[in-house]
Amino acid sequence: MQLTAILSLALFGTALAGPVRRDLQTINGALGNIQKSVMQLDTDIKTISGQPGDVQKIQTDNMMVQQTLQQSTTMVMATDAISLNDAITLQQTAGGLTTQVMTTVMDLTAKKAQINMIPGAKDMVVQGLMQQKTAANSFAMAVVSKVPALAQNIATQQTGQISAAFDMGIQAFST
């Protein structure tokens, strides 16, 4: 009888621990997927040489980043809130994405002269950055909503760095 009670408590405890771990894994997975799509965009940005074909690669990558952001937002919204310890773990993963986005925008602005050589590319870049910023902000709001209230200020500041990177790129190509 006691063995049955102990096993029941152990199974109950496992059931309670499962969703939190899964939710953190879901959010971490979403961050990883976004980072991979941004890395692909960055790889293709580095190959821009001022040829019209460069625009097609960048447009395709831009659409992939946006699609990944939208799917990730949906995935995160479907999760439960995470613990403070999980939020601290999440901050490390999110820091990698922040760095990747900042690097990608800097690499893009470094190719401004080559992009300006392609008719219509400058406007396409500005539009793409604005779309990515909107999608990234939606994803950020979804993640922040899953973090304990105590850590939401920090999470908002970190996601603000991504938004600022997009603003820097938009500014560079708008002038």
Is the residue at 9 inside a domain?
A: no
Task: Specify the number of domains making up the chain.
Answer: 1
The two three-digit tokens of residue 80, written as one number: 């439960």
pLDDT surpasses 60 at 170 = yes
The two three-digit tokens of residue 71, written as one number: 């799917």
Q: Average pLDDT for residues 98-113, to the nearest whole number?
A: 97
Is the separation of the CB atoms in 75 and 26 below 8 Å? yes
Residue-wise pLDDT tens digits, 59-88? 999 999 999 999 999 999 999 999 999 999
The count of C-alpha atoms lying within 13 angstroms of the C-alpha of 12, restricted to the half-sphere facing its C-beta, is 6
- pTM for the whole thing? 0.84
* Nearby residues of 66 by Cβ (< 8 Å), 6 or more positions away: 131, 132, 135
- Rounded alpha-carbon distances, angstroms, from residue 93 to 43, 106, 117, 154, 174: 20, 21, 37, 14, 31
Is the residue at 1 inside a domain?
A: no
pLDDT surpasses 70 at 17 = no
Average pLDDT, the chain: 88
Is the residue at 14 inside a domain?
A: no
Is the residue at 137 inside a domain?
A: yes
pLDDT at 52: 86
pLDDT at 175: 83
Which range of residues forms the domain containing residue 38? 22-174
pLDDT surpasses 60 at 10 = no
- Rounded alpha-carbon distances, angstroms, from residue 44 to 53, 68, 155, 170, 171: 11, 17, 29, 19, 21
Measured between alpha carbons, how far is 119 from 111 in angstroms, rounded to an integer? 15
* Phi, psi (deg, nearest 5) at residue 43: -60, -45
pLDDT at 59: 93
pLDDT at 97: 94
Is the residue at 11 inside a domain?
A: no
pLDDT surpasses 70 at 133 = yes
pLDDT surpasses 60 at 56 = yes
Is the separation of the CB atoms in 41 and 61 below 8 Å? yes
Q: How confident is the model at residue 19 (pLDDT cuts 50, 70, 90)?
A: very low
Nearest in space to 174 (alpha carbons), one of 115, 138, 142, 126: 126
pLDDT at 91: 87
Is the residue at 79 inside a domain?
A: yes
Is the residue at 37 inside a domain?
A: yes
Is the residue at 3 inside a domain?
A: no
The count of C-alpha atoms lying within 13 angstroms of the C-alpha of 28, restricted to the half-sphere facing its C-beta, is 15
pLDDT surpasses 50 at 151 = yes
pLDDT surpasses 90 at 116 = yes
pLDDT surpasses 70 at 20 = no
